Chain A
């Protein structure tokens, strides 16, 4: 479980996050949604420690992260897996080397065991046999799947996904969403997904946090989005014609 308390962040005096608090539970994908520029990715980066919040606390299973010392931060970070918007695969390494990377650097596992684990993770994300391809030789969807494999290879307790569907076709987006859901449930990990894709919201949104202009405006699940009663949230959810029609029905 991850808990955030009163997270504030400003850039050049301009507030981007204004006192966000919330809890992200284990075993179900927790979605942070909102329009572009509302601070979703900044919040995610504050949680994983890539950006230092101006104020507030982040707890990983009741262990304080934000104000902890370097060793504690490193210890927590080594349980984190993150899927970046562009995949963030290492260009000079093959798919296999990318997935094996956390094991190479962070563990003393024998080579054969590492290879077994990598093959298992690649198979899990549907990329068996793609070991020796370079990131430049695979599609955007495959890059995301390699990113997921790399994020889970070290048996991470926390999975963070920053816009996992950006740049993907609807079909591949659904596959990625389903993969995230399956992995979260199967390994009982705490997953936070930042997205503005309504398909994801409707597909895996068991717990949703809606951000608007740096504030948390609504929290709920996919079954409650029709009845939020919050104008800003409705504007976001029903921006799409299909969704508007669905509401009318």
Chain B
């Protein structure tokens, strides 16, 4: 019902376009630093730990980067970043909308004859759908770069071996799968967080609760969707 209400009594395309761009900046551009930092170190740590576990001399070194590549593209970039995304963007969406609700800003929109759900939530969902896949692409790239730098500088793998491993037996479908996951997670985080924030009642304490609940439910939904998508698409 909540999602259905986003598509009735809408404003002009220009209004949504402007709002969606604003959301893209708030959601995407402002998340780049955190996503980059996390993914860079995630790649670096994955490389070191994979090297630590591969003690058999019969296994070639390039397997390290192959493992980093597949783990990053299939799971770490779309899923782990989604959990971070839920914590950063989801909580911000829920608390922002919750504050608007308790300070009567949503009522003010409603009184003006504006469909507040559509006006506030639709751009957030569109912005999320546009930006999160891009964040996942950046995260995947930076994790692989992080792995390369950590591997080469610590000497666990040479640059040539790392690049060979990255290119070895590459299945393009994993990227498609990661992008499908990223769209689903983006939608889940934005819609769950918006729902929680939009229907906040009470005061400041309830805004905090809504924010926490948005993150918890988003993370649960991400993990469930991750499992289902893996079952269905792999």
A binding-site residues for B, Cβ under 8 Å:
45, 48-50, 70, 73-78, 80, 82, 84-86, 88-91, 101-102, 104-106, 154, 160
Contact of B105 among A48, A88, A102 (CB under 8 A): A88
B110 within 8 A of A: yes
Residues of A near B59 (CB, < 8 A) are none
Contacts of B111 in A (CB 8 A): 48-50, 77, 80, 82, 160
Name the residue on A nearest B99 (C-beta).
A91
Residue from B11, B99, B100 within 8 A of A105 (CB atoms):
B11
Whether A78 contacts B113 in the complex (CB less than 8 A), given A88-B103, A105-B11, comes out as yes
**A88–B113 contact, CB under 8 A?**
no
Distance of A111 Cα from B8 Cα, bound (Å): 27
Candidates A75, A78, A88; contact of B108 at CB < 8 Å: A88
In the complex, chain A residues whose CB is within 8 Å of the CB of B107: 45, 50, 82, 84, 88
- The answer to whether the Cβ of B45 comes within 8 Å of any Cβ in the partner chain is no
4 A-B pairs closest in CB distance: A77-B113, A88-B104, A78-B113, A88-B108
Measured in the bound complex, the distance between the Cα atoms of B108 and A217 in whole Å is 30
Q: In the complex, given contacts A88-B105, A90-B105, A91-B99, what are 18 additional A-B residue pairs having Cβ atoms less than 8 angstroms apart?
A: A49-B111, A50-B110, A50-B111, A70-B8, A75-B113, A76-B113, A78-B112, A80-B111, A84-B107, A88-B108, A90-B100, A105-B11, A105-B15, A105-B112, A106-B112, A106-B113, A106-B114, A160-B111
Interface residue? B30 (CB, 8 A): no
Number of residue pairs spanning A and B whose beta carbons lie under 8 angstroms apart: 57
Q: Chain A: which residue is nearest B113 at the CB level?
A: A77
Chain B residues with CB under 8 Å of A76's CB are 113
Q: Which of B76-121 contact A (CB under 8 A)?
A: 99-100, 103-105, 107-108, 110-114, 119
What chain A residues lie within 8 Å of B176 (beta carbons)?
A: none
Q: What is the minimal beta-carbon distance from A82 to any residue of chain B, in angstroms? A: 5
A128 CB to closest chain B CB (Å) equals 23
B118 to chain A, nearest CB (A): 12
B112 and A84 contact, CB distance less than 8 A: no
Q: Are A74 and B103 within 8 A (Cβ)? A: no
10 contacts between A and B (CB under 8 A): A74-B9, A77-B110, A82-B107, A88-B107, A91-B99, A91-B103, A101-B112, A105-B112, A106-B113, A154-B112
- With A70-B9, A74-B9, A88-B108 as known contacts, state yes or no: A105 contacts B103, CB within 8 Å: no
Known A91-B99, A105-B15; contact A84-B108, beta-carbon cutoff 8 A: yes
CA distance A111 to B110 in the complex (A): 24
> How far does the alpha carbon of A239 sit from the alpha carbon of B16 in the complex, in Å?
51
**Chain B residues within an 8 Å CB radius of A50:** 107, 110-111
List residues of chain A with CB within 8 A of the CB of B112: 77-78, 80, 101-102, 105-106, 154
Which residues of A lie under 8 Å from residue B9 when comparing CB positions? Answer: 70, 74
CA gap between A127 and B104 in the complex, in Å: 22
Residue of A nearest to B11 (CB): A105
Query: Which residues does chain B contribute within 8 Å of A75, judged by CB atoms?
Result: 113
CA A76 to CA B111, docked complex, whole Å: 10
Alpha-carbon separation in the docked complex, A85 to B113 (Å):
19
Give the docked Cα–Cα distance between A78 and B11 (Å). Answer: 13
Chain B, Cβ-Cβ closest to A85: B104
Complex CA gap A125/B11 in Å reads 29
- Taken together as a complex, chains A and B put the C-alpha atoms of A91 and B105 apart, in Å, by 9
| Chain B residues positioned under 8 Å from A73 (CB to CB) | 113
The answer to whether A74 touches B99, judged by C-beta atoms less than 8 angstroms apart, is no
* Interchain CB contact under 8 A, B108 and A74: no
Residue with the highest number of chain B CB atoms closer than 10 Å, among A102, A104, A105: A105
Chain B residue contacts of A49, Cβ below 8 A: 110-111
Question: Which B residues touch A85, using CB under 8 A?
Answer: 104
A92 to chain B, nearest CB (A): 9
Taking a contact as CB atoms under 8 Å apart, the answer to whether B108 and A82 are in contact is: yes
Shortest CB distance B25–A (Å) = 12
